Amino acid sequence: MTADFVIVGAGSAGCAMAYRLGQAGASVLVIEHGGSDAGPFIQMPGALSYPMNMGRYDWGYHTEPEPYLGGRSLVTPRGKVIGGSSSINGMVYVRGHARDFDHWAEQGASGWSYADVLPYFRRMESWHGGEGSEWRGSDGPLHITRGPRKNPLFDAFIRSGAQAGYPLTQDYNGQQQEGFGPMEATIWQGRRWSAANAYLRPAMKAGNVRLTRAFARRVVFEAGRAVGVEVDRGGKIEVLRARREVVLAASSLNTPKLLMLSGIGPAAHLAEHGIPVLADRPGVGANLQDHMEIYMQYAASQPITLFKHWNLWGKATVGAQWLMTGKGLGASNQFEACAFIRSKIGVEYPDIQYHFIPIAVRYDGKAAAAGHGFQAHVGPMRSKSRGSVTLRSADPAAAPRILFNYMSHPADWDDFRRCIRLTREIFGQAAFAPFVKGEIQPGEGVQSDAQLDDFIREHAESAYHPCGTARLGRSDDPLAVVDPECRVIGVEGLRVADSSIFPRVTNGNLNGPSIMVGEKAADHLLGRVPLPAASLEPWINPAWASSQR
């Protein structure tokens, strides 16, 4: 079992890399602990609440008790299946704001500014959102579509934004992110268009890419150079060797764990677990970030929500229609309208994101509100809180210790309160008057700062966007883990390419930028000159310094 490149993780970035490396004629071996993604739970978009709650498809990780959330331990789903988290996520497609990537470059990730990454977003996309756009790709492996927005609540949400004085945007992934508009999804012809469907299957069919089901234990080094990966395959420990390079694309939770098990990380922490230090990199496992959100839920005054299908017969009918035709409610993730707004005067670009859905229900499919309702998922995009991923033990089978330190920065509380108050104003607009019966959650009695803080402490949830634990930076930056070509600093022959390398979390869902990382890293692995930088100028609200909207 030898190949030019050995990639750990058949997730969003890993599949994209395998495809591009194989396309260039290199032999690639992809190691994935999880199994097949066959079956309706993953492939039917409307079933999205199931796979992330199934041990068959999810690593099953939890945080340590979060000290600023009353000691709650939160679930942190990560895909353990081909396609990785792109096979269990909500399928929402957001590139991030242009300024996110410019910030990366300012932090030392040279070559990762918006002008640098836009060509890779275009290369990976097949966009079906309208007529051709110079901002969007048209012939890439990843199909991007929009839902039909048949439910009147979707357009009510968008109109309410305009009535509240916010801009509208026809394409938040194009020139203008800020505003209210249609949401995009990695759904194609009624199916989840995961990285496995978009990249891995075509790559394997072409012949240069092989997939092996195994559990990666550590990277193997000889004279300071990565030469392979030690795995447990069918109960047998063996080494899968790389002729050229090893790439970790195992998620922002498992990649730092593998680095530390391989002797790359904070020296004192490795010593605690008896692991010989190969490279003292204190940034490994640090800088952990996420998005938090709450569900602003409202009771509906008309029986037009998805609640009418929220029973055994309704779900069976939706599922049967999808299985027979690939159409109907099962062909949508139901996130068909969204918004990106700025929280206050002086914020240059959006720092609040909304997902709107025409039912009041938890993301895990539990605790549906008793009756017809709808909700907006809302939360701040640029939390100042930082956490860490550390080793629980030197045993590769042990889960990592995950502590996000959610809400540990005082500014996060102010940001979250603003989210709630701005959302109430939006749902108070005339466009929603025919549909709103009352506020379910937080509830109209929850108004003061202290009451809102109590609600946030008890009810804020992860949006499942962990990143940052092996960040990009200059090779002389002591807290950087990889250089701008994704090479792990301090060793040879090893790269990281997944959401671990994000210096700061992007503005929106992370699947899109994670795939982009895989696309761009493939060019670095091949020694190619990066795609020419784009010269398009993104829209920034001209009144940002003097107006909140």
Number of domains forming the structure of the chain: 2
Q: Which residue has the higher pLDDT, 1 or 253?
A: 253
**How large a percentage of the chain has pLDDT more than 70?**
99
- Write out pLDDT tens, residues 13-51: 999 999 999 999 999 999 999 999 998 999 999 999 899
Structure tokens at 329: 């409610």
282 and 300 both lie in a single domain: no
Tell me if 25 is assigned to a ligand binding site: no
Q: Which residue has the higher pLDDT, 111 or 365?
A: 111
Domain for residue 130, yes or no?
Answer: no
Domain for residue 330, yes or no?
Answer: yes
Domain for residue 159, yes or no?
Answer: yes
Q: What is the pLDDT of residue 445?
A: 97
Residues 78, 286, 497, 90, CA torsion sign: positive
Q: What is the pLDDT of residue 311?
A: 85
Q: What is the pLDDT of residue 461?
A: 95
2 and 70 both lie in a single domain: yes
- Write out pLDDT tens, residues 469-510: 999 999 999 999 999 999 999 999 999 999 999 999 999 999
Tell me if 247 is assigned to a ligand binding site: no
The domain that contains 424 carries what CATH number? Answer: 3.30.410.40
pLDDT band at 363 (very low <50, low <70, confident <90, very high): low
442, 459, 476 - which closes a domain: 459
30 and 71 both lie in a single domain: yes
440 and 325 both lie in a single domain: yes
Tell me if 89 is assigned to a ligand binding site: yes
Tell me if 90 is assigned to a ligand binding site: yes
82 and 227 both lie in a single domain: yes
Q: What is the pLDDT of residue 137?
A: 98
The helix (run of H) or strand (run of E) holding residue 105 is: helix 98-106
The domain that contains 517 carries what CATH number? Answer: 3.50.50.60
Domain for residue 128, yes or no?
Answer: no
Q: What is the pLDDT of residue 312?
A: 87
Q: What is the pLDDT of residue 250?
A: 98
The pTM (predicted TM-score) of the whole model is: 0.98
- Write out pLDDT tens, residues 365-398: 665 666 899 999 999 999 999 999 999 999 999 9
225 and 362 both lie in a single domain: no
Q: What is the pLDDT of residue 190?
A: 97
236 and 172 both lie in a single domain: no
Range of the domain at 70: 1-93+190-287+466-529
Tell me if 208 is assigned to a ligand binding site: no
DSSP string, 414-461: HHHHHHHHHHHHHHTSGGGTTTEEEEEETTTT--SHHHHHHHHHHH-E
Q: What is the pLDDT of residue 361?
A: 84
Q: What is the pLDDT of residue 544?
A: 98
Torsions phi, psi of 274, nearest 5?
Answer: 70, 25
452 and 522 both lie in a single domain: no
Q: Active-site residue among 291, 372, 465, 524?
A: 465
Domain for residue 103, yes or no?
Answer: no
- Write out pLDDT tens, residues 197-239: 999 999 999 999 999 999 999 999 999 999 999 999 999 999 9
CB 164 within 8 A of CB 157: no
245 and 372 both lie in a single domain: no
Domain for residue 440, yes or no?
Answer: yes
Q: State the chain's mean pLDDT as an integer.
A: 96
Domain for residue 436, yes or no?
Answer: yes
- Write out pLDDT tens, residues 295-325: 999 999 999 999 988 888 999 999 999 999 9
Distance, CA of 287 to CA of 111 (rounded, Å): 21
DSSP state of 488: B
Q: What is the pLDDT of residue 114?
A: 98
350 and 419 both lie in a single domain: yes
158 and 225 both lie in a single domain: no
Domain for residue 391, yes or no?
Answer: no
Q: Three-state SS across 2-61?
A: EEEEEEECCCHHHHHHHHHHHHCCCCEEEEECCECCCCHHHHCHHHCCCHHHCCCCECCC
421, 438, 459 - which closes a domain: 459
Query: Which residues lie across from 225 on neighbouring strands?
Result: 222, 492
pLDDT band at 132 (very low <50, low <70, confident <90, very high): confident
Establish whether 465 is a catalytic residue.
yes
Residue 542 has pLDDT above 90, yes or no: yes
83 and 213 both lie in a single domain: yes
- Write out pLDDT tens, residues 235-271: 999 999 999 999 999 999 999 999 999 999 999 999 9
Residue 95 has pLDDT above 80, yes or no: yes
pLDDT (mean) for 138-154: 97
CB under 8 A, 24+ apart: contacts of 446-452: 449/417, 452/416, 452/417, 452/420
